[in-house]
With several copies, the nearest count.
Chain A
Amino acid sequence: MNFEFSAEQNLLREQAVGFLSDRAPLSVARRILDGDETYASEVWQEIINLGWTATAVPESHGGFGFGHLELCVVAEELGRSLAPVPFSSSVYLATEAIASAANDVRDDWLPKLACGEVIGCVALYEVSGAPDPDRMNDCTVSDGVLNGGKRWVTDGAIADMSVVTARDADTGNLCLYVVDLSAEGVQRSTIDTIDPTRNHADLQFDNVSAMPLASEIGDSTGLRRLLDRSAVLFAFEQLGGAEAALNMAREYALGRYAFGRPIAGYQAIKHKLAKMYVAVQLARSNCYYGAWALATDAPELPVAAATARVSASQAYRECSEENIQIHGGMGFTWEFDCHLYYRRAKLLSVNLGGEYDWKHRLISCIEADQAA
């Protein structure tokens, strides 16, 4: 039994922890929160230099050829640090999508994404709710030309390219396309969200050239697979954030005194922290399941991704809410960092569809498995 990260992977983690605590402490997230920058470009540049964007890209395409387990390690630490960089959009989503594209598209874009020459993103949403293929009808591609609008695109104002879901005008199939966001006809308008440390934008496409990722993937198969794979990586970000919030709460409770002793000694606080710990442990174990399925491309991936995602969303919600509660009055001030986790938790919870949707999906996958 070897259901943990390997020594080499843990070495990568140590490096990540060292780098991020040095170069991307919470003060960096706060700088983006309070200022006008869209992301911490100097941190992003160093991440590129460290090669993280190339982690799971094959050597044939300029990557390191590590597996996805290494990417999970990085994701967890990025989630812990709240680093305000477009990593999830460019790596979990755009790079993952491009990696499974047809040869020409892949050969064109993958090396650029791997080396950080371009930042990628994925544009899914047209209306509110979960990213439901049935409700993506506004964007259409006809003769290689995309028209329509997408909303709430994470890193939409930062990215150089975007993978876009759109209808093939001939077949009506929902396919994935790649679009150069510097092309004429692309309009972006930055929008604010509950978590200003991450950039979001609405995109409008007027006669913009769009390449299909893979002509053979029709309907929502490609999208579904992309969502499942990225869900595991998002779950690791959530896990890292949840554990960071737990640790922050624990530290505070140990140092904060009331009635002559640390509040960490009162059972109301002790048990709250213990419950947060339980939620984090369950999420961690389920994230590992997701990581295994992602790395081995196991048939369990849909179930494992949903399990990891639900557990991680639950843990992050609980830990980010209770961290504030344990901080008491200080917890709801702008000055303390509690709200950074609280904001990020909610953003990450909804950005691939909320907990209720993923639970529904989890049971659907189990039904399918058990019927088979």
Chain B
Amino acid sequence: MDFNDTKEEATFREQAKSWLAENAPAYQGDHTDDFLAAAKAWQKAKYDAGWACLSWPKEWGGRDATPAEAKIFADEETEYDLPVGPFLIGQGMAAPTMMAYASEEQKARFLPKLASGEEVWCQLFSEPAGGSDLAALRTRSVRDGDDWVINGQKIWTSGAHYSDFGILVTRSDPTVPKHMGLTYFFLDMRSPGLEVKPIKQISGQSNFNEVYFTDVRIPDSQRLGAEGDGWRVALTTLMNERAAIGGASGEMNFQTAFNLASETDLDGQPAIVDRGVRSQLADWYCKEKGLEFTGARSQTALSRGEVPGPENSIGKLVAAKKTQDIASFCIELLGMTGVALDHEQLSAYAEAYLGAPGSRIAGGSDEIMLNIIAERVLGLPQDIRVDKGVPFNEVPMGAK
């Protein structure tokens, strides 16, 4: 029971650390001006030096590293504030799917450019009417000669506006049960008939898009898996989702609340003196440490060549609610200062409070996380599915 690397891991970490120390700072910090260009430059630098997509085969731009090594590099990389977001989906979800289902030619054509950051990919799965019922998608694909013609709408597509390619699940046959009529493709995001619209969130930010398809044509050669077998392909993609998304970020954490409570007056004393405040802070500290050390246990499993299980779902569940609660606590402590403009923008606490609902929902709501834990970890029965075996076009859909 220690926090130390094995000898091999320590060597690897040293190499990673030293390469990062030399190269990362140049790409660090404020990259809002041209975030994508900065991200591509950093990815290219990693690729050129052999630090991109570590666990991938060498022939596609990786270095055949172990999952533990990949995690070590990722951890060290987060010590710097680097622009890595645009590649998470392409490298984390599209690439494993391409590896499993694309032709050798396609792999040779696309994977190295995913690794080098030259091309950015997005994922076109969710639809407005679907929500947590992912397979209830309606975007239609109809075969037309050597092409497929796509009509419909996707939603929650991160990075659609700057992506070069996308992975897409469609319904090719609505007359069979839900999971059986799906077909999976990848496509050029500049295809005619494809329109991207940003979604404005509560927080005012737009991290997601809606994508509209009007007679978009995809060559059949870009089908992944057999016609009607799209759900199986999608599961390959989704199995990699949790790993790619990671925990909710911790902009509002214990330390935020601790610092604020130390600086803010409550009844003539610093709020931190108050035992009720302390109790609340201690709760968050224990949650945060609990997640941190759960992470250490996962890393240990990787080190031992084991696969960490869906128990990692607790990270998102606990962290997102904690962020909301900490933001709310800080606002209440500050009173009106907490909800008002501060140096031309809303207080960081108000911003976090507005952003938190998104964190509690995007990538799977609290309730979905609980279902995952209940079913996949504890082995409890699935919810009853009234749509089981029912042809998709006969399943009740409601109005919304």
Count, A-B residue pairs, CB within 8 A: 313
A69 & B1 in contact (Cβ 8 Å cutoff): yes
Question: Which residue of the partner chain, among B2, B126, B276, contacts A3 with CB atoms under 8 Å?
Answer: B2
Kindly provide the distance from the CB of B399 to the nearest chain A CB, expressed in whole angstroms: 5
Write the A314-347 contact mask toward B (1 if CB under 8 angstroms, else 0): 1001000100110011111111001100110011
Q: Is A171 part of the contact surface with B, judged by Cβ < 8 Å?
A: no
A265 & B339 in contact (Cβ 8 Å cutoff): no
In this complex, how many residues of chain B approach chain A with their Cβ under 8 Å: the count is 107
Kindly provide the distance from the CB of A188 to the nearest chain B CB, expressed in whole angstroms: 14
Give CA–CA (A194, B202) in the complex, Å. Answer: 11
Q: Is B324 part of the contact surface with A, judged by Cβ < 8 Å?
A: yes
In the complex, which residue of chain A has the Cβ closest to the Cβ of B344?
A192
Write the B358-387 contact mask toward A (1 if CB under 8 angstroms, else 0): 101110011101110111011111111111
A353 & B335 in contact (Cβ 8 Å cutoff): yes
Give CA–CA (A155, B128) in the complex, Å. Answer: 38
Q: Is A254 part of the contact surface with B, judged by Cβ < 8 Å?
A: yes
**A330 contacts across to B, CB distance below 8 A:** 128
**B301 contacts across to A, CB distance below 8 A:** 4
Question: Which residue of the partner chain, among A5, A194, A329, contacts B155 with CB atoms under 8 Å?
Answer: A329
Question: Which residue of the partner chain, among B314, B338, B341, contacts A282 with CB atoms under 8 Å?
Answer: B314
Within 8 A of A (CB), among B309-340: 311, 314, 317-318, 324, 328, 331-340
**B379 contacts across to A, CB distance below 8 A:** 254
A277 & B378 in contact (Cβ 8 Å cutoff): yes
A128 & B336 in contact (Cβ 8 Å cutoff): yes
**B346 contacts across to A, CB distance below 8 A:** 192-194
Within 8 A of A (CB), among B243-284: 258, 264-268, 272, 275-276, 278-279, 281-283
Give CA–CA (A342, B386) in the complex, Å. Answer: 34
**A333 contacts across to B, CB distance below 8 A:** 199-202
Give CA–CA (A200, B5) in the complex, Å. Answer: 45
Q: Is A271 part of the contact surface with B, judged by Cβ < 8 Å?
A: yes
Give CA–CA (A349, B336) in the complex, Å. Answer: 10
Kindly provide the distance from the CB of B222 to the nearest chain A CB, expressed in whole angstroms: 27
**B184 contacts across to A, CB distance below 8 A:** none
Q: Is A203 part of the contact surface with B, judged by Cβ < 8 Å?
A: no
A194 & B279 in contact (Cβ 8 Å cutoff): no
**A193 contacts across to B, CB distance below 8 A:** 336, 339-341, 346, 350
Q: A288-B297, A325-B357 are in contact. Are A257 and B290 (CB under 8 A)?
A: no
Kindly provide the distance from the CB of A291 to the nearest chain B CB, expressed in whole angstroms: 6
Give CA–CA (A200, B6) in the complex, Å. Answer: 47
Give CA–CA (A283, B296) in the complex, Å. Answer: 14
Kindly provide the distance from the CB of B136 to the nearest chain A CB, expressed in whole angstroms: 7
In the complex, which residue of chain B has the Cβ closest to the Cβ of A355?
B332
Give CA–CA (A258, B397) in the complex, Å. Answer: 7
Within 8 A of B (CB), among A236-292: 250, 252-271, 273-275, 277-278, 281-283, 285-286, 288-289, 291-292
**A3 contacts across to B, CB distance below 8 A:** 1-3, 293, 296-297, 299-300
Give CA–CA (A124, B324) in the complex, Å. Answer: 28
B131 & A277 in contact (Cβ 8 Å cutoff): no
Give CA–CA (A257, B296) in the complex, Å. Answer: 39
Question: Which residue of the partner chain, among B1, B204, B267, B367, contacts A2 with CB atoms under 8 Å?
Answer: B1
**B324 contacts across to A, CB distance below 8 A:** 321
Question: Which residue of the partner chain, among B156, B335, B378, contacts A130 with CB atoms under 8 Å?
Answer: B335
Question: Which residue of the partner chain, among B9, B285, B362, contacts A329 with CB atoms under 8 Å?
Answer: B362
Give CA–CA (A286, B288) in the complex, Å. Answer: 10
**B11 contacts across to A, CB distance below 8 A:** none
Kindly provide the distance from the CB of B242 to the nearest chain A CB, expressed in whole angstroms: 15
A261 & B131 in contact (Cβ 8 Å cutoff): no
A329 & B156 in contact (Cβ 8 Å cutoff): yes
**B176 contacts across to A, CB distance below 8 A:** none
Write the B131-160 contact mask toward A (1 if CB under 8 angstroms, else 0): 111001000000000000000000110000
**B338 contacts across to A, CB distance below 8 A:** 128, 350
B264 & A289 in contact (Cβ 8 Å cutoff): no
Kindly provide the distance from the CB of A341 to the nearest chain B CB, expressed in whole angstroms: 11
A260 & B390 in contact (Cβ 8 Å cutoff): yes
Q: Is B20 part of the contact surface with A, judged by Cβ < 8 Å?
A: no
Q: A5-B1, A273-B374, A346-B328 are in contact. Are A260 and B386 (CB under 8 A)?
A: yes
Give CA–CA (A39, B381) in the complex, Å. Answer: 40
Q: A3-B297, A350-B338, A362-B282 are in contact. Are A342 and B290 (CB under 8 A)?
A: no
Within 8 A of B (CB), among A110-133: 125, 128-132
**A6 contacts across to B, CB distance below 8 A:** 1
B367 & A268 in contact (Cβ 8 Å cutoff): yes
Interface centre among B6, B203, B279, B318 (most CB of A within 10 A): B279
Q: Is A50 part of the contact surface with B, judged by Cβ < 8 Å?
A: no
Give CA–CA (A351, B133) in the complex, Å. Answer: 40
Q: Is B395 part of the contact surface with A, judged by Cβ < 8 Å?
A: yes
Question: Which residue of the partner chain, among A152, A268, A334, A366, contacts B336 with CB atoms under 8 Å?
Answer: A152
**A2 contacts across to B, CB distance below 8 A:** 1-4, 6, 300, 303
A332 & B336 in contact (Cβ 8 Å cutoff): no
Give CA–CA (A252, B398) in the complex, Å. Answer: 10
Question: Which residue of the partner chain, among A128, A332, A354, contacts B361 with CB atoms under 8 Å?
Answer: A332
A354 & B289 in contact (Cβ 8 Å cutoff): no
Kindly provide the distance from the CB of A329 to the nearest chain B CB, expressed in whole angstroms: 6
Question: Which residue of the partner chain, among B360, B370, B378, B397, contacts A250 with CB atoms under 8 Å?
Answer: B378
**A296 contacts across to B, CB distance below 8 A:** 2
B335 & A268 in contact (Cβ 8 Å cutoff): no
Kindly provide the distance from the CB of B215 to the nearest chain A CB, expressed in whole angstroms: 26
9 interchain pairs, CB-CB under 8 A: A2-B1, A135-B265, A269-B380, A285-B296, A311-B286, A324-B357, A329-B362, A332-B202, A346-B350
Question: Which B residues are within 8 Å of any A CB, using their own CB?
Answer: 1-6, 9, 68, 126, 128-129, 131-133, 136, 155-156, 199-204, 258, 264-268, 272, 275-276, 278-279, 281-283, 285-287, 289-294, 296-297, 299-304, 311, 314, 317-318, 324, 328, 331-341, 346, 350, 353-354, 357-358, 360-362, 365-367, 369-371, 373-375, 377-387, 390, 395-400
List 13 extra interface pairs beyond A2-B4, A5-B1, CB under 8 A. Answer: A1-B300, A3-B296, A129-B334, A191-B340, A192-B340, A274-B373, A275-B370, A278-B318, A278-B373, A346-B339, A359-B279, A362-B282, A363-B258
Question: Which A residues are within 8 Å of any B CB, using their own CB?
Answer: 1-6, 69, 125, 128-132, 134-135, 151-152, 191-195, 200, 250, 252-271, 273-275, 277-278, 281-283, 285-286, 288-289, 291-292, 295-296, 306-307, 310-311, 314, 317, 321, 324-325, 328-335, 338-339, 342-343, 346-347, 349-351, 353-356, 358-360, 362-363, 366-367, 370
